[in-house]
Amino acid sequence: MAGVKRLGLIGHPVGHSQSPRLFADRFERLGRHDVTYETFDLPDISNFPAWSQAHPDVVGLNVTVPHKSAVLPYLHGLGTEAEQIGAVNTLVRTPEGWVGHNTDAWGFRRSIQPFLKNTHERALVLGTGGSAAAIIWALRDVGIDVVAVSRSGRSSEGRLHAGAPVVGYDELNPALIQHHLLVVHCTPVGMSPSTEDMVTFPTSHLGAGHLVVDLVYSPPQTRLLREAQAQGAVVLNGQDMLRLQADKAWEIWVEAGV
């Protein structure tokens, strides 16, 4: 349709995403019948340049797993936070090429703020992908010490992820978990349809002082959150973060002329 501005989401998989419904509601509320939002399943990010050429009328994109960092070589430029984080979730097409921004950190910081207490001085971030990089950056930005947890990383290897030391899941002993009262899960494990999957986190070591955040929002309560809540922890899913990062993405697109 002439004059319609196309927005969308790239990633793999994308069928679970609530973003199309979220933006459709926004467009209806704003009376913006000149904008559409679609999902584009892109298994291999190396195909992004060809995809971009084949879709010249797509003016803005969200980026989801597993491409938040992998898409960087195909971009013309980065916003300040995206450059510091090393991952993007929002793209704007410019005459020179795509420019990447990160609104995940912005959305996460605001979603978690009402739940943070002065006891949440240290955090375990489960995962070392693009989403984890944004969360680590946001937590460190507000003064919280972070340890990243990876299937392959061990502290003895001296590895860092987004400025945080990395440990393996097999190093998550009771003392370490009790010392870190904030836990944030940043992988897609447990996402629909594989809702009974869970990272190998020993939830039995959690307690009433813990805040456990799972960025997965479908289902609303993952197995990780169920088990954490059974141990007395306060739990939070990724629904508010999804909404807030979308607010910021929309703001960026509007500023770009959408």
Q: What pLDDT score was predicted for residue 199?
A: 97
Give the CA count within 13 Å in the CB-facing half-sphere of 175: 1
Answer yes or no: is pLDDT of 157 > 80.
no
Map out the domains of the chain with their CATH numbers: 5-103+241-255 (3.40.50.10860), 106-238 (3.40.50.720)
Which listed residue (5, 68, 117, 248) is catalytic? Answer: 68
| Token representation of residue 248 | 């910021």
pLDDT in tens, 54-79: 999 999 999 999 999 999 999 999 99
Answer yes or no: is pLDDT of 22 > 90.
yes
List alpha helices for the chain, DSSP H.
19-30, 48-54, 80-85, 104-112, 130-141, 174-179, 223-230, 239-255
Q: What is the mean pLDDT of residues 2-22?
A: 93
Q: What pLDDT score was predicted for residue 204?
A: 98
**SS3 for 182?**
strand
Answer yes or no: is pLDDT of 188 > 90.
yes
Please state, in angstroms and rounded to a whole number, the distance separating the CA atoms of residues 65 and 127. Answer: 12
Candidate from 14-18, 181-185, 213-217 with smallest mean pLDDT? 14-18
The yes-or-no answer on residue 5 being catalytic is no
Q: What pLDDT score was predicted for residue 3?
A: 83
Answer yes or no: is pLDDT of 159 > 90.
no
> CB burial class (10 A; 0-12, 13-18, 19+) of residue 250?
buried
Predicted structure pTM score: 0.95
The amino acid occupying position 253 is W
Q: What is the mean pLDDT of residues 200-207?
A: 98
pLDDT top residue among 134 and 1 = 134
**SS3 for 117?**
coil
Q: What pLDDT score was predicted for residue 152?
A: 84
Backbone angles phi, psi at 193, to 5 degrees: -90, 0
Are the C-beta atoms of 82 and 76 separated by less than 8 Å? no
